[in-house]
Every structure is written in structure tokens, then in C-alpha cells.
Structure 1
Amino acid sequence: MVSAWFYNAEDKSDPREKHQYSPNRPVSLEELAQFGVLYKFVDASSPYDDKINALCKERDYKNRDYVCITVSSMWLDIAGQVVVFMLLINVSPTKLPDYENKIKTFFEEHLHEDEEIRYIVDGSGFFDVRDKNDKWIRIAVNKSDLIILPAGIYHRFILDTNNYLQAMRLFKEDPKWTPLNRSAEIDQNKFRKEYVRDFVEKGSASL
């Protein structure tokens, strides 16, 4: 079952740690939905194709692939900020062009112009997303968690200390992964503006 909390940016330890405040400041699924983040539990310990197929039909997802990610211990400290370099050790022979550079950029704050849908088949990791007040929320995903991030939300991803995650990626069109790193220019992106209008200035999403 997914869990979420406010990310403690003052904690300068390994980014793969939980980075919780003391005491912890949890965030509920209802609060996540207020800024467009959706969650569904789909048991990965039993056959799940029918449930995934039903979701794909409901939300018009046409394509899917699988990725299996581990992380090497390559760290670089630049101006006091920890930058994570991740290496893709194994990936299914589906489309993930230029994979080494893409894995390295996962922890850079970015958005996509399409929904980001991840179904965790095995392993665990963290998605960090910005809330309505531009604060980081850390979402811990584990086996059987399915998470949907709306187009236009600023976010990033990193493995946790288990250093392993296997996930199914779902796409509305052809598989693609185009990150747009945060900048003043990207703040004016059409999909970013639509996200701000629909969630920062308005209401919540539903699944």
C-alpha cells in the first residue's frame, strides 16, 4: 500500500532514504488527489492482466512496456547538492532509447506532456511530487502499487535503499519518455499551465 509524506529537504543524507520529518508529516490519498496524483492497488502476487487491461480500456492507454532498474553507487556532490547517477542494469527489449542518459535524469525535477503511469510489479522506490504550495511530497511505491501522475506536474523519481524496482509503464500513445526539466520557460508550457489551472487553482482528480 502506497504511503506519502512531506519531504524533509533539510535532511542532506542519501536521497534514497525516506527523508521524513520528526515527527513524520503524512499525506493522505485524498490529499494526493487534490493535486492530481491517483493511486490504485492491483495485487501483483496474482494474475493482474485483466485488471490492468480494464484500466487501460477505461483510461484509453494503448501501449505498455516493462522496465527493471537498479542503481550503482555513483554519487557526485555539486555545490552542496547530492546528484544521483543511476545506471539501467536490465530493461525489457521494448522501446527505451538512450536509456543510460534517461536513467541519470530521473531525479532531476521535470514534467511530462502526458500522464506518467507506473504499475510496480516488484521492488520499491520514491516518486517526489510538488504540492499546490510547491512543497515536495515523497510517495513510497511498492509491489502492487499503481500510480498516475498528471501531465504538467513537477516531479522526480529515485530508487530507495533496496536499489531495485520493476515496473510496467502504460502509455496513451506510442511509448515515449520526454522529460522537460523545470525552468522559467517550462513554467509557460501549455501542459504546465493546464495543470496549474486544473489542480493548483481548482480541484482534485478521480480514478
Structure 2
Amino acid sequence: LQANLAKQEGYLKVANAELAKAQEALDEKQAELDKVQAKFDAAMKEKMDLLNDAETCRRKMQAASALIDGLSGEKVRWTQQSKEFKSRINRLVGDVLLCTGFLSYCGPFNQNFRKLLLQDLWEAEMRAHKIPFSENLNLISMLVDPPTISEWNLQGLPGDDLSIQNGIIVTKATRYPLLVDPQTQGKSWIKKKEQDNELQVNNV
């Protein structure tokens, strides 16, 4: 019995040694499996991040495409406006020259003589010297804005072109203008226009 017990203990010792060796191998394999699992989890996370980024990019591209489609008509208009702005810049010097001449010299004259100066003399001279300017230049729209004209009309200035031109000359003059005003329209307008500026009226 004693010998049998010793024999069985020997078997047990061998079995325990084999078990320990197997457990060690199992632990190594488990460690390798854990590393592989960690790499797999990281790869799956990276994959999901890439998928989310791709979906975000897709939505942005769809929004950009929709915006481009919506602005396709605006592109044509912007291109035309850009060309017009460049043309206006090219004509600006000539237009300003005509406006300056109008303000400086046209005050004493009637409508017909003003047109004669502008169209038959000054514009012809500018063409001869190849100075670009706007054909059929609207001096009124160049020198005053519509709200100001409306305000002048409410103050009593007539709405015809000659009266508005006179109003422009009066308001932009660097010296006090002399008004030839048989109908006293200019006088009435100036009095209403300047009534809040302590205007003083003297009778000579």
C-alpha cells in the first residue's frame, strides 16, 4: 500500500507538472489572444470612425451640391455684374469729368444749352481724346440719390429734371449761388429746406 501510494503520488506530481506546463501555455495563448482582440477592437473602432467621417463628408457634399445648384443662376448674374462694374470703373473718370463740368459751368444756362454743352461740346471733345464715358449719362442719378430727391419734392422743389439739376447745383456749390427765380419756387424750397438751420431771410 505504501509503495502504491508513493507511486500514485509520483503520477500526481507528474500530472501537476504537466498541468502547470499546460496552464503556462494557456496563459501565453490567452495573452496573445488578448493582444489580438485589442488590435481587433482598435481596428473596428477605426473602421467605425472612418464610416462616420465618410457619412459626414457625404452629407456635406450633398449640401454643397445643393448650394451650387441653387447658385448656378446667380453665377451668371454675378458674372454679368462683374463685367458691368469693370466697364463702369473704366468709364468713371469720364463720367466724373462730365459731372464736374456740369456743376462748375452749367448753372446759369437753361436745359437746352446744358444739353448742348454736355453732348455737342464736352462729349465730342472726350471722344476726340479717347476718354471713356457713359453714353446717355444720367447726371441726376450720378449726383444725387432718390431719397434726397423725394425729400426735396416734399420741401417744395418741382420734380422736373431742370429743377432737380438746379437743386443739385445749389446744394453742391462751394459758394453762395445767385438764383434767377421769377416764380419764387427756389426761394420757397430753400426756406423749407433750411428752416431747421436758423435760416435768416433779408429783404433788400
TM-score range, shorter chain: under 0.3
* TM-score, length-scaled by structure 1: 0.20
Higher strand share: 1
Higher helix share: 2
Specify which structure has the bigger relative contact order, considering alpha-carbon pairs within 8 angstroms and separated by 6 or more residues: 1
